[in-house]
């Protein structure tokens, strides 16, 4: 079967601008894990389409706003995360938990700063909801709740995050390619034998079940390797509530990815489309603790954590090479890709993309 997004869809700056508005400002977007906002005054900054969004902890309450000062439009928080007062670094305006500027240096020097005017200077608020230990935001004021957006994946994700253990590593990289190339790469295992010959392929990952729900999809692929060492390792986590066939991978449209190996090691990934051909990937890795009384020693856990982080980094770099190669080539054609049955989730992703992009005609849609 043929894909539904033509090559032009990955290298057309007009389409990219539309994606920012129609996908990344209207959809629920994964921002961070709750641990990043655990303390009062913790903040996180995340891009969402054309906006930068800040999320803050106000004495336990999480709120999100567009990251633009009402005075003369400086970014209020410039770092991706931190802890500190809700204060603009330019002239020192401070804001309250409703986004209203309550501290204005040399206030009498401003004419007409009545309480009504000050209320009108409140920051633009952004919708915020949680799914388990994950924080999501949506720039567009109205729309479906996060639960409605995710459908049946909401409770699956909730259970996964409740049982994923502690974060053991975080890895950020910038890929010189369109964000859709990165998403599509994660939606199929067809490339594993070639691209991940020394990593994933060694685990004997095979094509298993998949599901397409709403705009999202998942796959649950068994590992072939069932040796003694593996058996002993799995036995140490027998009480885990999440039992997958092997490698379970979930894509929440447009750009959130979560996976787990056996319900023991978890990967949470956010993609930030920085430009038409530039994508930042933020990868968090979590590892569940062994069952009480399990034979695994704490020192062994340290080695396992290190190995998991190392493996994750290697796989991401292997994927980066092919994703960037696609970007370099895709501008030289205007055809539509051929997809195998194993790449069915990509077709589903294309359909979701077309649905959200609405009337914007792609080359593929024009041909149909």
Report the interface residues with ligand FES, using CB under 6 A. 69, 71-72, 74, 88, 90-93
CB of residue 305 to ligand FES, shortest distance in Å: 42
> What pairs with residue 260 in β-bridges?
248, 266
Considering beta carbons, is residue 72 or 295 the nearer one to ligand FES?
Answer: 72
Considering beta carbons, is residue 88 or 281 the nearer one to ligand FES?
Answer: 88
Partner from Fe ion, ligand FES, none binding residue 69, C-beta < 5-8 Å depending on class: ligand FES
Partner from Fe ion, ligand FES, none binding residue 328, C-beta < 5-8 Å depending on class: none
Partner from Fe ion, ligand FES, none binding residue 94, C-beta < 5-8 Å depending on class: none
Partner from Fe ion, ligand FES, none binding residue 272, C-beta < 5-8 Å depending on class: none
- Residue 26, classed as helix, strand or coil, is coil
Per the listing, tokens 């500027």 go with 101
Distance of CA 36 to the CA centre of its chain: 15
CB of residue 317 to Fe ion, shortest distance in Å: 10
Considering beta carbons, is residue 71 or 351 the nearer one to ligand FES?
Answer: 71
Paired tokens of 106:
């040399």
CB of residue 84 to ligand FES, shortest distance in Å: 15
Hey, CA dihedral for 60, 61, 65, 69, is it positive or negative?
A: negative
CB of residue 170 to Fe ion, shortest distance in Å: 19
CB of residue 63 to ligand FES, shortest distance in Å: 18
- Residue 332, classed as helix, strand or coil, is coil
Asked if residues 237 and 290 have their Cβ atoms less than 8 Å apart, the reply is yes
Give the Å distances, CA to CA, from 21 to 10, 248, 346, 356. 16, 30, 22, 10
Considering beta carbons, is residue 33 or 54 the nearer one to ligand FES?
Answer: 54
- Distance (Å, whole) CA 129 – CA 39: 18
Considering beta carbons, is residue 109 or 229 the nearer one to ligand FES?
Answer: 109
3-state helix, strand, coil in the chain (%, to 5): 35, 30, 35
* Contacts with 119 (C-beta within 8 Å, 6 or more apart), sequence order: 100
Partner from Fe ion, ligand FES, none binding residue 72, C-beta < 5-8 Å depending on class: ligand FES
CB of residue 100 to ligand FES, shortest distance in Å: 14
Per the listing, tokens 């590593």 go with 169
> Phi first, then psi: what are they for 155, rounded to 5°?
-70, -30
Considering beta carbons, is residue 42 or 319 the nearer one to Fe ion?
Answer: 319
CB of residue 192 to Fe ion, shortest distance in Å: 6
CB of residue 39 to ligand FES, shortest distance in Å: 24
CB of residue 119 to ligand FES, shortest distance in Å: 17
Dihedral angle over CA of 286, 290, 295, 298, nearest 10: 50
Per the listing, tokens 């990289």 go with 173
Q: Which residues in this chain contact Fe ion in the complex, by CB under 5 A?
A: 319
Distance of CA 214 to the CA centre of its chain: 18
Partner from Fe ion, ligand FES, none binding residue 319, C-beta < 5-8 Å depending on class: Fe ion
Pick from 247, 240, 249, 250: nearest CA to 262? 247
Per the listing, tokens 């989730």 go with 345
Partner from Fe ion, ligand FES, none binding residue 93, C-beta < 5-8 Å depending on class: ligand FES
Partner from ligand FES, Fe ion, none binding residue 71, C-beta < 5-8 Å depending on class: ligand FES
Considering beta carbons, is residue 74 or 124 the nearer one to ligand FES?
Answer: 74
Partner from Fe ion, ligand FES, none binding residue 90, C-beta < 5-8 Å depending on class: ligand FES
Paired tokens of 268:
């949470």
Considering beta carbons, is residue 7 or 53 the nearer one to ligand FES?
Answer: 53
Considering beta carbons, is residue 8 or 218 the nearer one to Fe ion?
Answer: 218
Asked if residues 284 and 255 have their Cβ atoms less than 8 Å apart, the reply is no
Per the listing, tokens 């915020």 go with 128
């Amino acid at each position: 079967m043929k894909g539904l997004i033509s090559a032009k869809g990955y290298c057309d700056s007009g389409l990219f601008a539309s994606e920012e508005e129609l996908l990344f400002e209207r959809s629920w977007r994964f921002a961070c894990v709750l641990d990043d906002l655990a303390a009062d005054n913790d903040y996180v900054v995340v891009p969402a389409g054309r906006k930068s969004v800040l999320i803050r902890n106000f004495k336990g309450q999480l709120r999100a706003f567009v990251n633009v000062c009402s005075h003369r439009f400086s970014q209020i928080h410039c770092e991706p995360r931190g802890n500190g007062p809700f204060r603009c670094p330019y002239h020192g305006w401070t804001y309250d938990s409703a986004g209203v500027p309550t501290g204005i240096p040399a206030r009498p020097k401003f004419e007409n700063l009545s309480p009504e005017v000050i209320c009108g200077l409140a920051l633009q608020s952004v919708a915020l909801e949680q799914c388990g230990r994950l924080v999501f935001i949506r720039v567009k004021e109205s729309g479906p709740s996060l639960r409605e957006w995710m459908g049946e994946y909401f409770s699956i994700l909730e259970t996964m995050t409740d049982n994923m253990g502690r974060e053991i590593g975080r890895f950020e990289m910038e890929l010189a390619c369109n964000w859709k190339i990165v998403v599509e790469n994660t939606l199929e295992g067809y490339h594993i034998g070639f691209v991940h010959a020394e990593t994933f392929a060694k685990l004997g990952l095979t094509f298993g079940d998949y599901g397409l729900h709403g705009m999202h999809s998942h796959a649950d692929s068994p590992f072939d390797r069932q040796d003694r060492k593996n058996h002993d390792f799995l036995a140490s986590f027998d009480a885990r509530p999440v039992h997958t066939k092997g490698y379970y991978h979930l894509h929440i449209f447009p750009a959130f990815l979560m996976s787990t190996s056996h319900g023991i090691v978890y990967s949470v990934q956010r993609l930030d489309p920085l430009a038409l051909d530039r994508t930042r990937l933020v990868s968090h890795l979590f590892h569940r603790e062994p069952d009480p009384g399990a034979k695994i020693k704490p020192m062994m856990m340290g080695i396992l954590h290190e190995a998991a982080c190392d493996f994750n980094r290697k796989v991401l770099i292997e994927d980066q090479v092919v994703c960037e190669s696609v970007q370099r080539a895709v501008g030289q054609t205007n055809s539509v890709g051929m997809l195998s049955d194993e790449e069915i989730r990509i077709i589903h992703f294309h359909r979701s993309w077309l649905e959200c992009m609405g009337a914007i005609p792609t080359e593929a849609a024009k041909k149909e």
